[in-house]
């Protein structure tokens, strides 16, 4: 695990900083809409968690679709 982290440290740092930016923007938008600080913080933390779950299923659907496309026979153009 340590090797994995060290090998990907720049990407992990970028991911963490993007998460902070995402949550901050989401909290700001939610606060602007609701005017409620607690509700905006709750929404901004809940949304990325739900997005991660949605992304998992989205990725699985794309894998299933990709395997179906790959399994189709390739049409050969008839020569005239």
Give the pLDDT confidence score for residue 70 in this predicted structure: 79
Rounded to the nearest 5 degrees, what angle is found at the Cα of 26, between the Cα atoms of 60 and 10? 65
Nearest C-alpha neighbor of 29 from the set 17, 15, 13, 47: 47
If the chain, 80 residues long, is cut into consecutive pieces of 10 residues, what is the mean pLDDT of each piece?
Answer: 91 90 94 96 91 92 87 66
Q: What pLDDT is recorded for position 78?
A: 63
SS3 of 19-74: the string is HHHHHHHHHHHHHHHHCCHHHHHHHHHHHHHHHHHHHHHHHHHHHHHHHHHHHCCC
pLDDT at res. 73: 74
């Amino acid at each position: 695990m340590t090797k994995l982290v060290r090998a990907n440290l720049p990407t992990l740092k970028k991911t963490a900083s993007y998460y902070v930016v995402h949550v901050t923007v989401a909290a700001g938008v939610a606060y602007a809409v609701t005017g409620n600080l607690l509700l905006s913080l709750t929404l901004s933390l809940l949304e990325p968690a739900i997005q991660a779950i949605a992304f998992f299923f989205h990725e699985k659907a794309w894998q299933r679709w990709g395997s179906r496309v790959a399994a189709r026979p390739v049409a050969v153009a008839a020569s005239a």
